[in-house]
Amino acid sequence: MIAQHYNSTHVENNLLKQIKIKENQLKIAQESNMLYVAEGLQNELLKLQGQLLEVQDVEIQALMSLLDD
């Protein structure tokens, strides 16, 4: 169980880093009027945020299963 928590924490931290990078890239693209690049970055950012929500949902489900036991 500890290994699973470590892995999900590692994945979550990695996703948070990737999201921060994409947000910075998006900001630069918007400031530079790079519309198509900004649009692509927004799509990538949405995917990363969706992945983060999935990881967090799995963590919540694991915690809830501990309460059920």
The pLDDT, as a whole number, for residue 69 is 61
Sorted by where each begins, the domain ranges of the chain are: 2-63
| pLDDT class of 3 with cuts at 50, 70, 90 | low
At CA 15, angle to CA 50 and CA 38, rounded to 5? Answer: 70
Q: What are phi and psi of 9, to 5 degrees?
A: -65, -40
**Tell me: the pLDDT tens digits for 59-68?**
777 777 777 7
Binning pLDDT at 50, 70 and 90, where does residue 15 land?
Answer: very high
pLDDT tens by residue, 25-59? 999 999 999 999 999 999 999 999 999 998 888 77
